[in-house]
Amino acid sequence: MTVRRTGGAPETGADRGRTARPPLTGPQRFLLAGSFLITLGSFAVLPYMSVLLHQRLGLGIGTVGVVLAVASLIQFAGGVAAGPVTGRIGLRRAMLLALALRTAGFAAFVPGLTSWVLAVGALLLVSAGAALYLPANKAYLVEGASEVARPRLLSASGSAFNAGMALGPPAAAPLVMGSPGVLFSCVCVLFALVGAGHALLPREASDRGGGRPAATPVRGSVAPPSGPSPFLVTVLSVYAFMFFQHYLALYAVPRTSAAFYGAVLTGYAALLVVAQPLLAERVAALSYPAALRMGFGAMAAGMAAIGAGGHAGIAVGGALLCLGEIVLFLKNDLEALARSTAAPASVFGRQRLAAGIGAFASGVVGGQLYGAAESAGSARGFWAAVCLQCLLLPVFLLRRRRAPARRRTARDPEGSRAAAD
């Protein structure tokens, strides 16, 4: 398919070369650096919340589970509020509001170390801020960006977040139990400084009265495209991926060691940070069906490798899961942006909701499935079952894609042939 610019002149290879890598602007560079620092601070604290609530504040483990479930629900499902909020106050102000909520939450953790009520309230504040910040951050990052620039920006954003996630827990480990007040104070100061930097960002075009720039369709797609909804694909992508995230530790640590499991997670994060930007343009160039086959296929192969067991199988499985995550998660966001006429913050908010639904479903199904596999005396059966699901998901999704096309052809065969011509 030949891509045409305004005026009808075909785009040449030289044109694509000149526009393939537009330089990052100052605000974009700041947002990427801020994304790393924000995630670093968040993951210096949040992975240890169950320990703090249970061991330090004395909450029962069942109560802790409920609190964390509610916080996760707010963090993911609350993303749907990003569209209305950013539409009313603008992207920059929405990010400032989100960071104010998170700064207040981390500040409240300091007195909350002696009161579970304050600690739970602080956690919910932090979760509410996270729900609003990420969609607004991504929307500001891609506002006005060309089709060529969007994959690189979104992949760089993902790398920044994943780098913070990888480095946050080990950075906080020396303080989290011995001096948690110092840790929370440092994180609070970090968020306050990053928030002050956000206050210096220029207002986006829509907030200056320039309106929302027209959405640019993904190269090679036809608008409006037929096919599986990116929302549904995101639900199922996260559903499949979270089996790995939730249950690898239960499987790997007894069969290898905690140190090896930690090394796999560190290597996974490093590979994701490096490979995601390098593969971004290739992922963007894939058709959606091809991306689904490749992404779910890599996940299926990764689950099978993990089930084979041993150090090599688990390491190779992690690398394949990383490839699946890169392809599916980036392509889903790009496809959702290309198909929607809504503001990007609304699109990313719905994608967060989809991710939350997928993670919740994976946790519920995975717990029952892993328990059944262990009861049967074969934890490897769990990974075989997940592998089978990953193989069947693209078949299910692409069959749904072909069925509406067949119905349209049956209703209007001449029109369908004309459209194909």
Pair 12, 187: CB distance under 8 Å: no
* Residue 226, pLDDT score: 53
* Residue 211, pLDDT score: 38
Pair 84, 94: CB distance under 8 Å: no
Q: What is the mean pLDDT of residues 161-165?
A: 86
Place of tokens 């011509």: 421
What is the tens place of the pLDDT at every residue in 299-329?
Answer: 999 999 999 988 999 999 999 999 999 999 9
* Residue 58, pLDDT score: 85
- Please list the residues that pair with 4 across neighbouring strands: 10
188: which 2 tokens? Answer: 């609070």
Query: Do 41 and 115 have their domain in common?
Result: yes
Query: Do 202 and 349 have their domain in common?
Result: no
Question: What value does the mean pLDDT of the chain take?
Answer: 82
CA 86, CA 136: separation in Å to the nearest integer?
A: 7
Q: How many domains does the chain have?
A: 2
Considering the domain boundaries, does residue 385 fall inside one?
Answer: yes
Query: Do 101 and 242 have their domain in common?
Result: no
Those residues whose C-beta lies under 8 Å from the C-beta of residue 252, and which sit 6 or more positions away, are: 260, 261, 264, 306, 314
Predicted confidence band of residue 387 (pLDDT cuts 50, 70, 90): very high
Considering the domain boundaries, does residue 415 fall inside one?
Answer: no
Query: Do 158 and 236 have their domain in common?
Result: no
CA 244, CA 45: separation in Å to the nearest integer?
A: 22
* Residue 178, pLDDT score: 75
CA distances to 1, 2, 223, 308 from 220, rounded to whole Å, are: 6, 8, 10, 39
Q: What is the DSSP letter of 145?
A: -
More reliable by pLDDT, 231 or 180: 231
Residue 261 has pLDDT above 70, yes or no: yes
Considering the domain boundaries, does residue 67 fall inside one?
Answer: yes
Q: Is the peptide bond before 224 cis (omega within 30 degrees of 0)?
A: yes
Query: The CATH number of the domain where 312 resides is what?
Result: 1.20.1250.20
Decide: helix, strand or coil at residue 94: helix
CA 259, CA 153: separation in Å to the nearest integer?
A: 34
Query: Do 198 and 243 have their domain in common?
Result: no
Residue 11 has pLDDT above 60, yes or no: no
Considering the domain boundaries, does residue 308 fall inside one?
Answer: yes
Query: Do 259 and 114 have their domain in common?
Result: no
Host domain of residue 203: 25-208
Query: Do 163 and 269 have their domain in common?
Result: no
Q: Give the side-chain half-sphere CA count within 13 A for 15.
A: 8
Residue 383 has pLDDT above 50, yes or no: yes
Considering the domain boundaries, does residue 299 fall inside one?
Answer: yes
What is the tens place of the pLDDT at every residue in 25-79?
Answer: 888 999 999 999 999 988 888 777 877 888 788 888 778 878 887 888 888 888 8
Query: Do 236 and 193 have their domain in common?
Result: no
- Alpha-carbon 382 to chain mean position: 25
Global confidence as pTM: 0.76
Predicted confidence band of residue 2 (pLDDT cuts 50, 70, 90): very low
